[in-house]
Structure 1
Amino acid sequence: MEKNFTLRLRFYTVAEKSLDTILKEFEVLKSEIEPDYKVKILDNHIWLSLGILKREKYSPHLHLHLEPMEDGNTAINGLYGPDPVLWTFFIFLHFLVGVIFFIASISAYTKVKLHQNYTIEIIIIALMVFLWFLLYYIARKNRRKGIPEMNQLQTIMERIIN
Structure 2
Amino acid sequence: MSISENDILLRPRFKLDLKKDKEELLRAFLNARETEATPFLIKVVDAHIFIDVLEDDSHFWSPQLHLEIVEEEEKSVQLKGLFGPKPQVWTFFMFLHFIVASAFIGCGIWAYVNSTLDKTSVFPIVMLIVLPLIWGLLYVLGSLGKDFGKKEMKKMHAFMIATLQI
TM-score category (smaller protein): over 0.9
How far residue 69 of structure 1 moved from its aligned partner, in angstroms, is: 2.4
The answer to whether the aligner puts 1:38 opposite 2:41 as a matched pair is yes
Identity %: 28
* Paired position in structure 1 for 2:70: 67
* Paired position in structure 2 for 1:154: 157
Q: How does 1:25-104 map to 2 (within 5 A)?
A: 25-32=28-35, 36-104=39-107
CA contact 1:40–1:47 (8 Å) conserved in 2? yes
CA contact 2:40–2:51 (8 Å) conserved in 1? yes
Amino acid at match of 1:15: L
Amino acid at match of 1:156: F
> CA-atom RMSD, angstroms?
1.7
CA contact 1:16–1:74 (8 Å) conserved in 2? yes
Q: How does 1:12-27 map to 2 (within 5 A)?
A: 12-27=15-30
Count, aligned residues: 161
CA offset digits 1:96-149 (Å, max 9, x no partner): 111111111101001111111111111111111110000011001101111100
Q: Structure 1 CA distance, aligned partners of 2:127 and 2:72? A: 54
The TM-score with structure 1 as length reference comes to: 0.93
Q: Which runs of 5+ in 2 are unaligned?
A: none
What SS class does the counterpart of residue 69 from structure 1 fall into? strand
Q: Structure 1 CA distance, aligned partners of 2:154 and 2:46? A: 25
Q: Structure 2 CA distance, aligned partners of 1:122 and 1:147? A: 39
Q: Which runs of 5+ in 1 are unaligned?
A: none
How far residue 33 of structure 1 moved from its aligned partner, in angstroms, is: 5.3
Partner of residue 109 from structure 1, selected from 94, 107, 112: 112
Q: Structure 2 CA distance, aligned partners of 1:46 and 1:38? A: 10
What SS class does the counterpart of residue 63 from structure 1 fall into? strand
Q: Structure 1 CA distance, aligned partners of 2:7 and 2:95? A: 31
Amino acid at match of 1:24: R
